[in-house]
Amino acid sequence: MKEKKCRHWNALPFRPVVGFTAVLVLGGPMMKTARAAPDSSGVDGGGWTIEWDGTLRGEVALRTDPPRALSKERNLVQLRTVAAGAGPIAVTVAVRGFYDAAYDLTDRYPKEVEHALGSEGTLREAFLEWSREALSIRVGKQQVVWGEAFGRFLTDIVVPKDLREFILPDFEYIRIPLWMLEGTWTRGDAAIQAVLVPDLKYSVFAPQGADFAPRPEGPAGQTIVDATRKPSRTWRNIESGIRFSCLRSGWDVSALAFRGFDDLPVSFRRIDSAPGGGSIVHMTPGPVRLTTVGGTVSKGRGRAIYRGELAYDFGRWFPSTRPAEEDGVARADLLGVIAGVDLALPRRSTLGIQILHQEVIGSSAGLKGPAGPTALLLRGMLWEARGRWSAGLEAHFGLDGDSMIRPRIGYRFTNGLQAEAGFDLFAGPPDSFYGQFSEEGRFDMEISYRFSAGFR
């Protein structure tokens, strides 16, 4: 049960302020550093140049659906440094950590949720880059991002995702960096990028009891979910991918292929006889291989940027109710397509419109296909005033009558300091992609401070 003892947020009159205050107190002394940055940073010269930047952020969320309570009071620190020599070598290291006081201020959440979302410290990036002429190689922990679309991941398939807050955070935050080798060779307006990924990780979801935990699946009754198996670290299991891109007559086209493992473990079913009669269902989540090919295209014309993505998964596993599938899953190919346009409007406003569709190829009878297979996605920066105020909207509409609406308003105080507030609202049937969180609507606000400096 998600709700244990619920403390309403209005019973905690000023505690969220503590986090914000911490951000400001910590951030204030660093403002001089931020202003001094550009004059001392550079791209060339003798010796090494060290640049660093960081973010302090306080985030507060209050549920708008019952129980109306504090659901997040996160204080986040992110630091990143890049050291570049006069030669072809550069080193990048980034760390991120957060503490979410909401899990100590309320006992509404189970221990598993507190453990998963209460605090965290991670090494986000640690890679060495060597580049000369047309060739660039990066080795270490990093993100590699493919794709053109916003709002959903179709060809952005190299790294797994942190979906503990669904798809609400920035995508840079959502992507989980992996240890890998990446190389890019460039010739004119064409480039070939190759990746080798020995670091195998699954996407991460919030545990049951959290606000954005996915709906539990599996048959009702006596079900035992075994520990999730991970792919063994062998040479054969190293993931690999290649992406070719070129620009011709304004058409930015790429083709990509990636062979590895599905970011989501597949639950194979086994039914055993129970000692006292009846049966016990065992679900064993485990790794499955997956090969994806696809491509992206974009073309600018005047104020419009047209973009598209296509991805074809060979042999993805889906939950199945077919009697012949004893393990409860079946394989089928999956085609995904995204088409959209971004419009540059007057006064620095922008509007992006995008349509997503995913289709199981072949017979889909008895298969539970991909979540949210068809959706209309809108994203706009609709208004800006005096270079300080801004208002935006992100809206997703699914074919199942489900939706996610996110109006936001932002204010930029001084260099580096800004605030944002808005709603994350969901609607639709409980088994739909967005509707599964129809009782998890929230008002959220954040204040963040970014700073940077450089040394030579």
Residues of this chain that interact with another protein (CB under 8 A) are 34-35, 37-38, 41, 43-44, 53, 82, 92, 125, 131, 133-134, 136, 138, 142-143, 145, 147-148, 150, 156, 170-172, 175, 184, 186, 188-189, 191, 193, 245, 247, 250, 252, 298, 300-305, 307, 342, 344, 347-348, 350, 386-387, 412, 414-418, 448-452
CB-based contacts of 187-192 (< 8 A; 24+ apart in sequence): 187/134, 189/246, 189/247, 189/248, 190/244, 190/245, 190/246, 190/247, 191/244, 191/245, 191/246, 192/242, 192/243, 192/244
Query: Residue 139 or 427: which CB sits closer to another protein?
Result: 139
Shortest reach from residue 437's CB to another protein, in Å: 22
Query: Residue 29 or 133: which CB sits closer to another protein?
Result: 133
**For residues 325 and 314, what is the distance between their CA atoms, to the nearest angstrom?**
19
Shortest reach from residue 209's CB to another protein, in Å: 29
Q: Which residues contact 126 (CB under 8 A, 6 or more apart)?
A: 92, 93, 94, 140, 141
Query: Residue 330 or 404: which CB sits closer to another protein?
Result: 404
Tokens 């965290």 map to which residue? 120
Residues 435, 428 contacting (CB under 8 angstroms): yes
Shortest reach from residue 60's CB to another protein, in Å: 19
Query: Residue 171 or 205: which CB sits closer to another protein?
Result: 171
Query: Residue 403 or 452: which CB sits closer to another protein?
Result: 452
> Which value, to the nearest 10 degrees, does the dihedral of the CA atoms of residues 369, 370, 373, 378 take?
170
Shortest reach from residue 302's CB to another protein, in Å: 4
Shortest reach from residue 171's CB to another protein, in Å: 5
Query: Residue 156 or 444: which CB sits closer to another protein?
Result: 156
According to DSSP, the residues that pair with 337 across neighbouring strands are 310, 357
Burial of 71 (0-12, 13-18, 19+ CB in 10 A): buried
Query: Residue 69 or 404: which CB sits closer to another protein?
Result: 404
Query: Residue 207 or 300: which CB sits closer to another protein?
Result: 300
Query: Residue 37 or 376: which CB sits closer to another protein?
Result: 37
Query: Residue 115 or 303: which CB sits closer to another protein?
Result: 303
Query: Residue 136 or 223: which CB sits closer to another protein?
Result: 136
Shortest reach from residue 387's CB to another protein, in Å: 5
Q: Which residues contact 8 (CB under 8 A, 6 or more apart)?
A: 67, 68, 69
Shortest reach from residue 82's CB to another protein, in Å: 7
Strands 279-286 and 289-301: unpaired
Shortest reach from residue 40's CB to another protein, in Å: 11
Shortest reach from residue 25's CB to another protein, in Å: 17
Shortest reach from residue 243's CB to another protein, in Å: 9
Shortest reach from residue 365's CB to another protein, in Å: 38
